Structure 1
Amino acid sequence: MKESAMAQTQQPLAEVFGYQITDQSEAAARCRSARLCPFQGQDRKCTKDKANNPLGVCAIYHNNEPVITCPIRFRQNWLIAQDAALFFFGEGTRWSILTEIRLPDAFGKSAGNIDVVLVSYDDEGRITDFGAIEIQAVYISGNVRSFFEHYMRDPQGYIVGDWIGETPVPRPDYLSSSRKRLVPQLMYKGAILRAWNKKMAVVVDEQFFQTLPQLASIPPQDANMAWFIYRLMPGRQAHEGTERYYLEKVTEVFTDFEQVIRVMTTSSPGRSEDFIKFLQAKLHEQRQTRHSNL
């Protein structure tokens, strides 16, 4: 994907309140002025980070590509629901979307909220099946709010600013996104869903998925967990006259829940000799410090 020169100069913001930061259309200006989230429905305000002063950054640049940093961003046109419904229920099924559903354990305590639950139903509206969608956006390492607030104060000035050498530049924190957030979510919620014999779909950004351990793919009909991988692609909104990013599915990987958890919770050990060298250096440093203090 070819990006603007801004993306090449360590300017991190790719998308703010649903629009590229270079977009000065009326629609983009309205969303920024009113702090609206175009992916939650008409005139719904963004509440990310702070309700009164939301951090309206939907995506940041990494390797000159936009990376999704807000889970709500994945709701564009509900493409993720269409893809997951086919995995959960097959074709020709009536289904509906429910969001932020509390998942109870055997003791009535919350095991967390499910981002999206899809329910299938019969002619009388009775639920016949359901499946859970877990959405994992990428955490940001660094102070992206300072860049965001700079942009919101003066969008035009920000765009033409010289960002070369600006440090530190916020970056995606893929390790924290997986180990601290995604894996625990899959373990707690997934274990309950597996006990109920229900399927789970995991929605992630393409660049994030590439950092995960390699997962063994199995036939869709044998899978109880599916990974739907998306990216943002540039396109044009004709009736608004705006250049926007659009969610596009890159691929899908069908997996077994137990195998996924085993792979994602197993460390890859390095050489013990290297660790001993590190310990030796630390011990030497400690002894030198003690000696100098005598």
Structure 2
Amino acid sequence: MTKKPRKPKDITPRFGIGEWYGLNLAQMTPAERQYYAAECLKPKKQRTPQPCPFQARKADAICSKNGGVCSLRQYSYTAHAENGRAVGIPVTGKQGDLRATCPYRFHEALDVFKWVGEKILDDPNPTLVGEVGFLEAGATTDNEGGDDVGRIDMVLVSNKTVDGAPMKWAALEIQAVYFSGNAMKGEFEAFNDTDVDWLIFPAGRRRPDYRSSGPKRLMPQLQIKVPTLRRWGKKMAVVVDRAFFDSIGEMDDVPDISNADIAWFIVRFEEVEGEKRTRIVRDEVRYTTLERSVEGLTGGKPVSLPAFETRITEKVVHPSLNQDDPYADQLKLIEIGDASAAEE
């Protein structure tokens, strides 16, 4: 029997689906929501492939994201006027911004790549080259070396390069946000109810996980790639949405790209009344050094030496505070990797 959404005990705003297979959830018809919900509840191999409207580089691109959730947004709670069941109202203002959870969401109409080309290469129509290896493994006991161990996700090459002149290009990194908390299955089950013809209040509790997305994923990528790019005299463009950038700590800007290592290209997603798709909008460009970017992604300031040593003493004096697993993060990543491999 399909679970029916009821009034939750906690009615503080929750994050739910923002865009689903490219469509704005709030603008979808009940029949569309039920169709996608039913598909997502099928075993993975039995689902009907769904098109991805954002992968502009590929004709007839198919969504490769399990569950097809392109972005999250916050919903507030209200009771249904007739049956009292849980209804979700999209939150307005900055808290209501869409948070992209799929990197392909930023590929819409290739506008981001044109923007980066304009600002860094003075070419609004650069050639896009994906997955270029730039670090090779050395020989070890276990292998002969030479394998790619580091890749630039996307390289933009200017088509304005004059014959005989050095190639003009820039590296580009796109970062969507991961989320932590309850999986989306509860949302799919709720929307699969034929009686539900309204937006449900999110069935699960989840949040955008900027700590995993920024310091744990994006920052190491920049620390590995940017020093080499800097020696080569090349720039790194990083594309994020407004909510992601606002989650980063303060970063000192440099006034001109010539003094920058990284150019942050910040976008937002604009809803158009009556349309089922939101559109990507250019928001702001910020130029920073690698060092200032790392400080911002770290998002914190070191405590004083006395404060740190006090914390050490507390764990020495109270052994119960000293039981944390120092390898918890590494083990969690291993588990995630094993789960991904099992799905494939």
Give your verdict on TM over 0.5.
yes
Deviations 1:176-204 (A, max 9, x none): 11111000111112222223221110011
Aligned to 1:98: 129
Residue 54 of structure 2 is aligned to residue 24 of structure 1: no
Paired residue for 1:227? 264
For the 8 Å contact 1:95–1:119, the answer to whether it is kept is yes
TM-score, normalised by the number of residues in structure 2: 0.65
- Do the aligned residues in 2 keep the contact of 1:114 with 1:132 (CA within 8 Å)? yes
- Aligned partner of 1:290 in structure 2 is none
Letter in 2 for 1:256: T
Contact 2:249–2:295 (CA under 8 A) maintained in structure 1: no
Change (3 A) 1:71 1:280: same
**Distance (Å, rounded) in 1 between the aligned partners of 2:19 and 2:51:** 13
Of the candidates 53, 71, 90, which is equivalent to residue 38 of structure 1?
53
CA contact (8 A) 1:203 1:229 kept: yes
Instruction: Provide closer, same or farther for how the CA distance between residues 283 and 61 of structure 1 changes in structure 2, counting only shifts above 3 A.
Output: farther
Identity, % of aligned positions: 28
TM-score, normalised relative to structure 1: 0.75
Going from structure 1 to structure 2, the CA distance change for 1:94 and 1:66 (only over 3 Å counts) comes to: closer
Q: CA deviation at 1:102?
A: 2.9
- Aligned twin of 2:153: 115
Contact 2:190 2:200 in 1 (8 A): no
CA distance in 1, matches of 2:223, 2:163: 31
Q: 1:263 to 1:66 in 2, by over 3 A?
A: closer
More moved, 63-72 vs 141-150:
141-150
Is the 1:103–1:189 Cα contact (8 Å) retained in structure 2? no
Contact 1:121/1:128 (<8 A) preserved: no
Give the unaligned 5+ runs of structure 1: 1-6, 49-53, 288-294
CA shift for structure 1 position 281: 7.7
Shift of 1:222: 2.8
- Is 1:190 matched up with 2:226? yes
Matched, 1:179 2:215: yes
| CA distance in structure 1 between the partners assigned to 2:149 and 2:197 by the alignment | 42
5+ unaligned residues in a row in structure 2: which ranges? 1-10, 37-47, 75-94, 138-145, 322-344
Cα deviation 1:23-68 (Å, max 9, x = unaligned)? 3369x77x956422111144311112xxxxx221111114332111
Say whether 1:70 aligns with 2:118: no
- Number of residue pairs matched by the alignment: 267
Q: CA RMSD in A?
A: 3.6
| Aligned-residue offset at 1:141 | 0.7
Of the structure 1 ranges 265-274 and 221-230, higher mean CA displacement relative to structure 2 is found in 265-274
1:230 and 1:123 mapped to 2: Cα distance?
A: 28
Alignment of 1:1-294 (within 5 A): 9-10=13-14, 12-24=16-28, 32=36, 34-41=49-56, 42-48=59-65, 54-62=66-74, 63-91=95-123, 95-99=126-130, 101-105=131-135, 107=137, 108-122=146-160, 128-150=167-189, 153-154=192-193, 157=196, 159-163=198-202, 166-167=203-204, 169-218=205-254, 219-235=256-272, 242-261=275-294, 264=297, 268-270=301-303, 272-273=306-307, 276=310, 280=314, 283-284=317-318, 286=320
Shift of 1:95: 2.1
Write the distance in 1 (CA, Å) between the matches of 2:297 and 2:18: 29
Is the 8 Å Cα contact of residues 122 and 128 (structure 1) preserved in structure 2? Answer: no
For the Cα contact (< 8 Å) 2:24–2:277, is it kept in 1?
A: yes
Amino acid at match of 2:128: I
| 2: CA distance, partners of 1:89 / 1:210 | 26
1:224 deviates by 3.2
Distance 1:158 1:19 in 2: 17
Q: 1:105, CA displacement in angstroms?
A: 1.6
What letter matches 1:138 in structure 2?
V
Query: 1:37 is aligned with what amino acid?
Result: C
Aligned equivalents of 2:308, 2:132: Cα separation in 1: 45
Shift of 1:266: 8.6
Distance 2:214 2:253 in 1: 19
Change in CA separation of 1:137 and 1:158 when aligned onto 2, cut-off 3 Å = farther
Shift of 1:259: 4.0
Q: Is the 8 A contact 1:22 1:159 kept in 2?
A: no
Determine which structure has the larger strand proportion and give its number: 1
Is the 2:266–2:283 Cα contact (8 Å) retained in structure 1?
yes
CA distance in 1: counterparts of 2:207 and 2:194, whole angstroms:
21
